[in-house]
Structure 1
Amino acid sequence: MGFTRPYRGVLLVAMVGMLLEGAAAGAFGLLTKPMVDETFVARNQEFSLLMPLAIVGIFVVRGVAGYLSDLFMAKAGRGIARDMRVGAMAKYLRLPGLRFDSEPVPSMLVRLGSDSDQVAQAAIDSAKVMLQQSLQVISMLAVMLYASWRVTFVVLLLAPAIAWLMDKVGKRYRRFGHRVQESATELMLAADQALSNQQEVKVYGAQAVEMQRYSSLANEYLRLNLKVEATRSISSAVVQLTGAVGLALMLFFAGREAMEGRLTAGGFVQLMLAMMAIIPALKQLTNVQGMLQRGIVSADRLFAVLDAEDEPDSGQRPLQRTQGVLEFRAVQARYPGQTQAALSRISFIARPGTVTAIVGRSGSGKSTLVKLIPRFYEPESGQILLDGHALNDYPLAALRRQVAMVGQQVMLFDGSVVRNVAYGELQQADADAVARALRAANAMEFVNQLPEGVDTHIGAKGGKLSGGQRQRLAIARAMLKDAPILILDEATAALDNESERLVQEALATLIPDRTTLVIAHRLSTVEHADQVLVLDEGRLVEQGTHVELLARGGLYAHLHAMQFREAGT
């Protein structure tokens, strides 16, 4: 109802159109009695001339009314689908980071795509069918009552049977509708998994395995859809059979009424035409159950997103540009459903103008730690302070303006180089600032060789560029932001040795005025860090400079020795 509110005027026009349609159908039904009695029985010549004009007038009104109802219902339906899609997209961008760990992106795309359409169809398209056909039934029943209330009363004895049938059909649609939607999502996930990892699928000869998985899901999807279609077909057949029984009853009792002199030939035709109009209307009312139930299932999925809690954002402390003093005090973090903490009682201070390197084995909690700083995740306990105040004290937007981040997965869009570097709040940056950032990130050398320079489109996810080129554009974006806190999550991992050296030199010019946190697997890249944090299974096991940690002979020295041996071999 909330989504239909902006379209009340449009829906009102559509409703008026449907009422006129129903009224025109009823008017035509009322004309059938005098049409037969006056034209064919009484042979009234004057009436036979006026009748065709009246019929044409009725159908002109009905045509215009049908056009208005169809057009304005379509406007409302498509508008609601768009509003739901846009609202769900905006909601996803406000949800906590944990949501993106628990729900795969293809599932989100289903909610944004087909689920939005299904809800709009249920709310508008099915409502249109239900209203139109209900008005048709009501107007035709009025015609039947006018022709013979006795015969109509007998036919109405079938109404409870039809209502019972619709209830059963609705429950069956509901039972299978949810399973059909979930099956469609599983089918898309399987396809996304196989196609996104097609290189691994081919190298390991897993085409047959993936096709077997996909075919099995496709067969289940087919089976469920066939059950839905079987329900629709059976219900339609039963409605038509019920209508035929009603028609037979009507013929029998109409004959009795005619013999008693209470029903003329025109009245009988009137009853017959009205009854014949009601049967297809009832059939459509039964068939619309499928659309309605699919919409209800999609609404459950869509409103599970729209009604979810946003990221907590209650901070009120003003923040223009932070000094960059970051302090972790006994911070503990845990993912939902996990017994072991991802981070356990982490404490350290990172100061402006220093580099804090974070190292450790895979899965030790390095990425989780840095994601706590822009509050992608919330700690379970402990405190993270920025300039002596808890992160929660600052508004989210203000806090995130203080952070530039280059992660392992480079985020680029299907746009130009300049649009990808001057992204978001940076889009007002002038051309000179963009050029300086590209040169500082050692990216200008390849950008100048592109067909249109900085205006060259780089394809979806930067697909027209190499991995190293994409990484350098991401670093250029971070440089352009000029944020006081710089987080590099394996930012140089995709670069060759020469490019890495040049980028490290460029990054070195940023460090004096910034708090820099660097995650790196290659320990040779953090030798000059002011402090190194060594994580193991979520715990901070060692802390110190590169030289100090080597001298201790602990985990850092062990990891360094292993990499040295690998490099030597």
Structure 2
Amino acid sequence: MVIPPPKSWKKSVANKTASTRSAVADYKRLLSYLKAVKLYFALGIFGFIIFAAMEPAMAALLKHIVDVVASGQAAEDRHMIPLMIMGIFLFRGVGTFFGSYFMAKVSTSVVQRLRNDMFAKLLVLPAEFYYHNASGRLMSKLTYDTEQVIGAITNALRVIVREGLTVVGLVGFLLYTNWRLSLLFFVILPFVGLVVAYTTKRFRKLSSRIQNAMGGVTDVASEAIRGHEVVKIYGGQAYEQDRFEKMTAYNAVSTMKMEVTRVISIPLIQMFIAAALSLLVWLALDPAISAAMGAGDFVAFIGAAGMLSKPVRMLTEVNSVLQKGVAAAHSIFTLLDTPNEVEKTEKINVTVSGGIEFERVSFTYPGADKPALQDVSLAIKPGQMLALVGESGGGKSSLVSLLPRFYDIQAGRILIDGKPHTDFSLSELRQHIAIVNQNIVLFNGSVRDNIAYGELAAASDEQVIAAAKMANAWGFIEALPDGLNTQVGENGVLLSGGQRQRLSIARAILKDSPILILDEATSALDTESEKQIQEAIDTLLSNKTTIAIAHRLSTIENADVIAVVHQGRIVEVGSHGELLAKNGFYANLYQQQHSLSE
């Protein structure tokens, strides 16, 4: 009776097969990037062919020199032989230049395209992706992983092509000189193949570990750098140093394991080659065999066999570089294959007045057990202001994040002017919405760049200044060293919190969209600035639909509709006066804040 293998064994074999297939597919996909630079690649290959051809040419010249000396005609060829040697090295140099230069062009172009493709992908991935992937790891993909791909494209291909062609040329010369003796090399191929197969799998596995470790190193470093003030004030230096050292230690261990595998496998393969060469020389020195060969043939044969050692050694060494590149390519292609935000290619091209209706909307964050919103229904007319109030974590920000489709709802509908907001393309939908986040985002550029950002870049200075004035930002902008051209630093670090928030408000004002979302838009302003900003916003919003999230109820008393959000549900809706009269959630919140302000 035949006993079937255990299921775990079958699963293991299947996983290994899938892994190998995946690695081959990843490398083929990586090589597909060569199509755009096929001319450079062809010139590089041509250079390596020239280089490889010079090795058997040198062996043939060695045969000629021995034959000339043995025949006593050395004086006649005295001037030609040095010229031949110079010619071989000249062609070898030209081949090296062509191969190395154009392969560098190829690798630079491929890495540039990969980075551009990755960055373009990052711009269209859904919000969920960023909540599950730390920014440091994404930066590691853009930097470290692409550097490893350079090795697979440039170094590995250069060695594989140049040294591979050299081996082919030398083995061809050996077969031509004495094919019986040359067949000995093919006996060692299965042993070399076994070593290479084992090291290939181990290199790929360790390369993946190293990439993960580098992502961890980048994560810890970026967090500590961004939060350097918190680290210092709370004495977190030792904690952060310990985190960083653990990640670098893990990286170092994985790197050493890869190096150990490499330094063991290379000498082992070289020993197989040396054994074959030794046996080859021993057989070649047999009088019965050497007698059938001329002196030139004998010396050239031994010389060509000796020349095989270097290219074979380099071919075995390149495996670790190649597997690093394959593992990096897998990491990159995993990112590139991540599904984009769900997008409609066609636009409905309608004028939006700003009527918004939430119909029994329910939403749960991916991976969460508890819904963030349950059966929410709200409606506001064009030009009205809806204020969302309630305790933190109640679902206010979740509700407004659904309108521009940062997330898609699981149940219900959101209508804009009576049309489902999913009927709009993402670009068209978001073109009609401006937003001022509670967490202000500024970019490392000038004040003008941050106000007239993205599609607003074509705005004139007059328009930018007008928006800044309405946001009560022009006063401090004028006082800056270079005015609108002043650099604000990373995330506006050179500005105060209030200044940063006013720039964000000016950006939303400049966009002049029919729908405006204000998420605690005045939270970082002093009382006087808040009053002036509120007056400017009230004037601006006379013809806009506004959804405002506010914790300070004094800022939204004039809202047309106030909705109290509690544990993901709408528990009260009405105007300020109506809700106070109900003496419910809103009235309780208002009384608490009013008593605190007295």
Q: CA deviation at 1:258?
A: 6.5
> 2:303 is matched by which residue type in structure 1?
L
Q: Distance in 1 between matches of 2:553 and 2:284?
A: 96
Q: CA deviation at 1:469?
A: 0.7
Partner of 2:8: none
Q: CA deviation at 1:10?
A: 1.4
Q: CA deviation at 1:559?
A: 2.6
Among candidates 26, 45, 55, match of residue 15 of structure 1: 45
Q: Distance in 1 between matches of 2:328 and 2:596?
A: 53
Partner of 1:109: 139
Partner of 1:213: 243
Contact kept in structure 2, 1:372 and 1:378, CA below 8 Å: yes
> 1:51 is matched by which residue type in structure 2?
I
SS at match of 1:378: coil
After TM superposition, the structure 1 = structure 2 runs for residues 314-325 of structure 1, keeping only pairs within 5 Å, are: 314=344, 316-325=346-355
Partner of 2:506: 476
Q: Does 1:85 align with 2:115?
A: yes
Residues 161-202 of structure 1 show CA distances to partners (whole Å, capped at 9, x for unaligned) of 112211111111022111111111112112222232223323
> 1:286 is matched by which residue type in structure 2?
T
After TM superposition, the structure 1 = structure 2 runs for residues 445-460 of structure 1, keeping only pairs within 5 Å, are: 445-460=475-490
Contact kept in structure 2, 1:352 and 1:512, CA below 8 Å: no
Q: Does 1:432 align with 2:456?
A: no
Structure 1 unaligned runs (5+)?
Answer: none
SS at match of 1:488: strand
Q: Does 1:255 align with 2:300?
A: no
After TM superposition, the structure 1 = structure 2 runs for residues 30-109 of structure 1, keeping only pairs within 5 Å, are: 30-39=60-69, 42-109=72-139
Q: CA deviation at 1:153?
A: 1.8
Q: Distance in 2 between matches of 1:522 and 1:390?
A: 32
Residues 398-455 of structure 1 show CA distances to partners (whole Å, capped at 9, x for unaligned) of 1111111110122222222112111111111112111111111001100111111112
Contact kept in structure 1, 2:138 and 2:215, CA below 8 Å: no
Q: Does 1:152 align with 2:182?
A: yes
Partner of 1:122: 152
Contact kept in structure 2, 1:35 and 1:51, CA below 8 Å: yes
Among candidates 255, 263, 268, match of residue 298 of structure 2: 268
Q: CA deviation at 1:315?
A: 6.0
Q: Distance in 2 between matches of 1:33 and 1:270?
A: 5
Residues 265-301 of structure 1 show CA distances to partners (whole Å, capped at 9, x for unaligned) of 4333323332232222122212211111111211121
Normalising by structure 1, we get a TM-score of: 0.96
After TM superposition, the structure 1 = structure 2 runs for residues 362-381 of structure 1, keeping only pairs within 5 Å, are: 362-381=392-411
SS at match of 1:509: helix
Q: CA deviation at 1:259?
A: 5.9
> 1:249 is matched by which residue type in structure 2?
L
Contact kept in structure 1, 2:360 and 2:377, CA below 8 Å: yes
More off after superposition, 44-53 vs 337-346: 44-53
Among candidates 356, 362, 370, match of residue 326 of structure 1: 356
SS at match of 2:330: helix
Among candidates 208, 221, 224, match of residue 194 of structure 1: 224
Partner of 1:493: 523
Q: CA deviation at 1:150?
A: 2.6
More off after superposition, 204-213 vs 103-112: 204-213
Seen in structure 2, the aligned counterparts of structure 1 residues 257 and 433 have a Cα distance that, compared at 3 Å, is: farther
Partner of 2:419: 389
> 2:430 is matched by which residue type in structure 1?
R
Normalising by structure 2, we get a TM-score of: 0.91
Contact kept in structure 2, 1:342 and 1:365, CA below 8 Å: yes
Contact kept in structure 2, 1:258 and 1:264, CA below 8 Å: no
Partner of 1:540: 570
Among candidates 379, 389, 399, match of residue 349 of structure 1: 379
After TM superposition, the structure 1 = structure 2 runs for residues 168-179 of structure 1, keeping only pairs within 5 Å, are: 168-179=198-209
> 2:390 is matched by which residue type in structure 1?
G
Structure 2 unaligned runs (5+)?
Answer: 1-30
Q: Distance in 2 between matches of 1:254 and 1:244?
A: 15
After TM superposition, the structure 1 = structure 2 runs for residues 499-510 of structure 1, keeping only pairs within 5 Å, are: 499-510=529-540
Q: CA deviation at 1:146?
A: 2.6
> 2:58 is matched by which residue type in structure 1?
F
Seen in structure 2, the aligned counterparts of structure 1 residues 50 and 530 have a Cα distance that, compared at 3 Å, is: same
Residues 38-64 of structure 1 show CA distances to partners (whole Å, capped at 9, x for unaligned) of 136645322232111112112211211
Partner of 1:166: 196
Partner of 1:442: 472
Q: Distance in 2 between matches of 1:379 and 1:147?
A: 75
> 2:472 is matched by which residue type in structure 1?
N
Residues 216-267 of structure 1 show CA distances to partners (whole Å, capped at 9, x for unaligned) of 1211111110011111111222123223222211221111156650234433
> 1:34 is matched by which residue type in structure 2?
H
After TM superposition, the structure 1 = structure 2 runs for residues 270-309 of structure 1, keeping only pairs within 5 Å, are: 270-309=300-339
Partner of 2:591: 561
Q: Does 1:413 align with 2:439?
A: no
Q: CA deviation at 1:141?
A: 0.8
Q: CA deviation at 1:500?
A: 0.9
> 2:372 is matched by which residue type in structure 1?
A
Seen in structure 2, the aligned counterparts of structure 1 residues 383 and 38 have a Cα distance that, compared at 3 Å, is: same
Q: Does 1:518 align with 2:548?
A: yes
Contact kept in structure 2, 1:321 and 1:484, CA below 8 Å: no
Partner of 1:138: 168
Q: CA deviation at 1:382?
A: 0.7
Among candidates 213, 234, 243, match of residue 273 of structure 2: 243
RMSD of aligned C-alpha atoms?
Answer: 1.8
Partner of 2:6: none
Contact kept in structure 2, 1:357 and 1:520, CA below 8 Å: yes
Q: CA deviation at 1:83?
A: 0.4
Seen in structure 2, the aligned counterparts of structure 1 residues 258 and 438 have a Cα distance that, compared at 3 Å, is: farther
SS at match of 1:532: strand
Q: Distance in 2 between matches of 1:72 and 1:454?
A: 45
Q: CA deviation at 1:320?
A: 4.9
Aligned length: 568
Seen in structure 2, the aligned counterparts of structure 1 residues 544 and 239 have a Cα distance that, compared at 3 Å, is: same
Contact kept in structure 1, 2:468 and 2:503, CA below 8 Å: yes
> 1:95 is matched by which residue type in structure 2?
L
Q: Distance in 2 between matches of 1:284 and 1:320?
A: 64
Q: CA deviation at 1:203?
A: 2.9
Contact kept in structure 2, 1:334 and 1:341, CA below 8 Å: yes
Q: Distance in 2 between matches of 1:48 and 1:254?
A: 29
Q: Distance in 1 between matches of 2:353 and 2:474?
A: 31
Seen in structure 2, the aligned counterparts of structure 1 residues 240 and 42 have a Cα distance that, compared at 3 Å, is: farther
Q: Distance in 2 between matches of 1:472 and 1:39?
A: 90
